[in-house]
Chains A and B, each alone.
Chain A
C-alpha cells in the first residue's frame, strides 16, 4: 500500500487555480523527485500537502497512511509524520534552536501518548544528530534561524527532520541558495535518513541536487499537472534538453 496517494488534486491560491489534476503515489521507502519550471505549482504542492492556510483544495483527495490527509489540520499532519523542509526557513527571534526542537519533539511524543523527554535525554539525543550535520552547540543555542547563513538554515532543517523522524519528508527546493560544499553536507544528511519506513518527496528546479540525493522516480510538473514520469535518467535528460522541450515554450 502506498504511504501517500494523491488523486486528481485541484487547488487554488487566492482564487487562482494552481494545481489542476495532480496525481501521484509514493510507496514506503521511496524517494520521488518533482521537477518543474517556476510557477508550475511545486511549492503549492508542498503547502497543500502540509496544510497551510490560504491553499485551498477544490477537488481531489489525498490518502496518507490510510487516512484522509486533507481532513487534518496542519499541526495534526505534522504530528502524523508529514515533515516539510522549507525553502525559506523562518526566523524566530529569542527562541533557541534547542527550545524549539524540544517543544516540537515533545508535541509529537504527547500525541503518541509518550512522556516528554527531559532536558538531559533531549540534549543527548539532539547532539548525536547534530554532530553528523556539523551543527555545533553554539548554533543550537542561537535563536532559531536568526542570522543563519543559507547553508546553516538548510542544515538546521535537516536536523529537525532527523530529530522528528517523519514518515513523509517533503524537501522544498532544499538546494536553493547552497554552494556545492553545503549542498553535499545537506544531501549526506538527507541520505542518512533514507530508510524502508520513510518516503521522500524532493522538489527541485535543478538536476544538481539529484546527483547527491538519487531518486527512485522523477516526475515533471507543468501547469499544475504531472506531465511525465520516469526514473532518474529523466532528470538528466531534462537537464540536457531544458524544460521547454518537455512542457512547451510557454512554460519554460
Chain B
C-alpha cells in the first residue's frame, strides 16, 4: 500500500523533530515547581503546547485523582507516598549535567552491561552519557523511520502525536484506560509527560519490530509514560518496550499507562522487559512501578498478546489486561516475574470476555528468591453475552531458598453457561538434586540457576521476539545472582 504524500510529509517532520529534541539542541533545565496542584498540570500542558481539550482532560483527571483512595488490595507494602515531595516535570537534562564518559558511571552498572554483552556505544546511551549528535543509533533510527514512512506507519513520541495527529489522539486517549480507572492511572492522566504513539494503517503488516529503544527522544519520559497503540483493520504490529540493561531513574514513583486498540482482524503483540532499579539488598531506593496496561480487542477476530519479563523495580503493580469485545477475539498474557532480595511484585492480568467465541490464554511464571514476595493476581470474567468463551490459565511458581513467598490469587467469574474455563497452578522449589546435577556437569551455581530457571520459563520466553529473547535469558540469570548458596 502506498502512503499519500501528506502522511509522508507528516512522518518526515516527526522524524526531524525527534533529532532536535534528542541530540542536537541544548535544552536548558526547566522544571515545574515542586509538588502537585492544578498549576502543575497547567504548567506541563503549557510546556507541551497542548490544545485546550487535552488540558481539560488532564484537569478532570487531576480533580478526580484528589478524590480517589490508594489501591490497597495488592499484596505489597510500602510507606505512604508523599505526592507533594516530587517534581512532575523537568525538561531533558543538558549535556553538561550528564556524565561525560563511562568513567563517571557506576562500575556495578557497567559490569552488568558487560555481562549482557552490550556494545560500548550502546552502554553510553543507556547510562545517559552525553554523546555527540553523530551517533550510530541516529543513523539506524533514520533508516528505521524511512522504512516505516513507506508503509504509512506512524511511530513517534506522544507529544509529537498530540501536535501532528490530534484527531487520532483525541479519539483514542483514555478510551481503554479511563482517567478514573484507578488512582495511579488518574495521576498519569493528569501529569504524563511523554511516551510513544503508534498507528498502523488498515491492512499494513508493520515491516519491523517497533522498539522504544529506537525512539530517539525516549529519555526522561520514564516517570509518567503514556503509550497509545492503534492497529487499524487487518494490520499487525509487534512492539517492544524497555530493555534488558538495568535502567536507573532518580524518580522513585513510576505510573505508566499503556492503551492498545485493535480493530477488525488486527493484531498487536506487546513485549516488555522491565529492569528498573530494584533497590539495594535491603530494598532501599528501588523504583515503584505502578503500571496500568490494557488492550481493547474492539474488532472481530482481533488479537492482543502481552508478554512481559519483569525483573526490576522494588515494587511491581501491574496487570496487563484484555477487553475481548469483538466476536472471536483473542487475548494472551505470558509473564515471567522474578523477585529477589526484598523485591515485591503483585502482577497478573484481567481477561474480560464480552464478545462471542472469545478466547484467552494466561501463562504466568513467578520466581521468588531471597526475602522477596510475589503474587499472581488474575481475573477471568465471562460476561453474559460471551457465548462459547474459552480460557486457559496456568500459573507456576518457583521458590529459591526458604524465606521467599509466592501466592496465586485467581478470580474466575462466569456469566455464561457455555463458557469453558481451565486453571492450573503449581509451586515448586529448585531442588538440591537439580543444583548438584548441574554443578557436577561443570556449571557454576549461577549458571545452574540460570539454566534451571530459564527452563521453567521456557513457554513464556519463546513468545518473545528473537533479539529480545537471547538477552532476556541472560538477564534471568543475572537477576538471580547470589540468590543460592
Contact = CB atoms under 8 A, between A and B. Distances in A.
Residue of A92, A108, A144 with most chain B CB atoms under a 10 A cut-off = A92
A118 to B, nearest CB: 13
Contacts of A141: none
Interface of A: 50-53, 73-75, 78-79, 83-84, 86, 89-90, 92-95, 99-100, 103-104, 107-108, 111, 143-144, 160, 164
Interface in B326-373: none
**How big is the B interface, by class?**
20 to 34
Contacts of A52: 436, 440
B442 A111 contact: yes
B451 A100 contact: yes
Contacts of B454: 94-95
Given A75-B444, A104-B442, A107-B444, A95 B452 contact: yes
Q: Label chain B's interface by main secondary structure.
A: helix
A53 B436 contact: yes
A107 B440 contact: no
A164 B455 contact: no
Contacts of B439: 51, 73-75, 78
Contacts, number: 75
Given A52-B436, A92-B451, A104-B443, 7 more contacts: A51-B439, A53-B436, A74-B440, A75-B440, A90-B433, A94-B454, A104-B442
B445 A75 contact: yes
Contacts of A94: 454-459
B434 A92 contact: yes
B442 A78 contact: yes
A93 B443 contact: no
B440 A50 contact: yes
Interface in B414-469: 431-434, 436-445, 447-448, 451-452, 454-459
A103 B440 contact: no
Residue of A94, A99, A107 with most chain B CB atoms under a 10 A cut-off = A94
Contacts of A107: 441-444, 447
A144 B440 CA distance: 15
B295 to A, nearest CB: 28
Residue of A74, A100, A160 with most chain B CB atoms under a 10 A cut-off = A74
A52 B445 CA distance: 13
B440 A93 contact: no
Nearest to A160: B441
A111 B440 CA distance: 14
Contacts of B440: 50, 52, 74-75, 78, 83-84, 86
A103 B457 contact: no
Interface of B: 431-434, 436-445, 447-448, 451-452, 454-459
Contacts of A86: 437, 440
22 contacts: A53-B436, A74-B440, A75-B439, A75-B448, A78-B441, A86-B440, A90-B437, A92-B434, A92-B455, A93-B456, A94-B458, A94-B459, A95-B451, A95-B455, A100-B451, A103-B443, A103-B447, A104-B443, A107-B441, A143-B455, A160-B441, A164-B442
A108 B439 CA distance: 11
Contacts of B448: 75
Given A92-B455, A95-B455, A107-B447, A100 B432 contact: no
Given A89-B437, A94-B457, A103 B432 contact: no
B455 A79 contact: no
Contacts of B443: 75, 103-104, 107
A154 B459 CA distance: 27
Nearest to B430: A92
Contacts of A111: 442
A183 to B, nearest CB: 23
B341 to A, nearest CB: 23
B64 to A, nearest CB: 45
Contacts of B447: 103, 107
Which 4 pairs of residues, A with B, have the shortest CB-CB distance? A94-B455, A95-B455, A78-B442, A94-B458
Nearest to B461: A94
A100 B439 CA distance: 12
Contact of B437 (A53, A92, A164): A92
B412 to A, nearest CB: 26
Contacts of B438: 92, 100
A9 B379 CA distance: 59
B437 A75 contact: no
A102 to B, nearest CB: 10
Contacts of B452: 92, 95
A75 B449 CA distance: 13
Nearest to B431: A90
Contacts of A89: 437
Contacts of A93: 455-456
A116 to B, nearest CB: 12
A83 B451 CA distance: 19
Contacts of B458: 94-95
A99 B451 contact: yes
Contacts of B451: 92, 95, 99-100, 103
Contacts of B433: 90
A107 B449 CA distance: 14
A27 B399 CA distance: 44
Given A90-B433, A92-B434, A103-B447, A108 B442 contact: yes
A52 B439 CA distance: 9
A201 to B, nearest CB: 14
A8 to B, nearest CB: 25
A21 B440 CA distance: 25
Nearest to A109: B442
A84 B433 CA distance: 13
Contacts of A53: 432, 436
Residue of B431, B443, B445, B454 with most chain A CB atoms under a 10 A cut-off = B443
Contacts of B455: 92-95, 99, 143-144
Nearest to B456: A94
Residue of B433, B441, B456 with most chain A CB atoms under a 10 A cut-off = B441
Nearest to B428: A93
Residue of B442, B447, B451, B456 with most chain A CB atoms under a 10 A cut-off = B442
A42 to B, nearest CB: 17
A194 B438 CA distance: 24
A174 B377 CA distance: 46
A43 to B, nearest CB: 13
